[in-house]
Amino acid sequence: MRRVFTHQMWKSLVLEGAAWVTDSEADVWTVQEDILIVGVAMQAEICTQSENDGIAGGYGRLYHGSPADLHSLILIAKAFELWNTAPPFGGIEAECREIMLPAGLAIPIKEEGSITLQTHTTGKSAGSVSWSVGAVIFYVKKSVK
């Protein structure tokens, strides 16, 4: 039986202004030895709501390798807040997603390879909203039998 290790990645920010903003390297982990990813849990959430009209939130995407390579996408989580005062309406959507690969399957990452957390976020034209995304990576060391 192999020991399963974990690594956490996180990004938290305040969203202001109604333009979409991309942070291609919100958090980057450069692994120091060959590993096999056996699972990932990811959560995005609105931490502080704003009662100003509009939509705010974003997506967090976890990649192995470069975010420019769409085949390296591992998992996506999103969280949004929608608010309108006339007619009154409000809602918050947050996600917690996870994947655990079946025995014998894994995502291999070579030594000096990278895992990248990327964010795409937007705020409201008025007010600000706190937003965060995090991931826990479950892996085994490839060299250990």
Per-residue pLDDT of the chain (145 residues), as tens digits, is: 789 999 999 999 888 777 788 888 899 999 999 999 999 999 999 887 666 777 888 999 999 988 888 889 999 999 988 877 667 677 788 889 999 999 989 999 999 999 999 999 988 877 778 889 999 999 999 875 5
H/E segment holding residue 86 = none
Q: Write the CA distances from 69 to 50, 58, 72, 100, 101, integer angstroms.
A: 35, 20, 6, 22, 21
| CA–CA distance, 90 with 43 (Å, rounded to integer) | 21
Amino acid at 68: A
* Both tokens assigned to 100: 């655990």
**Residues making up the chain, counted from first to last:** 145
Domain CATH number, residue 56: 2.60.120
Q: Give the structural domain span for 86.
A: 5-141
Please tell me the pTM assigned to this model. 0.86
What 69-76 contacts at long range (C-beta under 8 Å, 24+ apart), as own/partner pairs, is 74/37, 74/40, 74/99, 74/107, 74/115, 75/40, 75/42, 75/99, 75/135, 76/42
Predicted local confidence at residue 42, as pLDDT = 96
| Secondary structure (3-state) at 70 | helix
How far is it between the farthest Cα atoms of the chain? 62
Predicted local confidence at residue 66, as pLDDT = 81
Structurally, how many domains does the chain consist of?
1
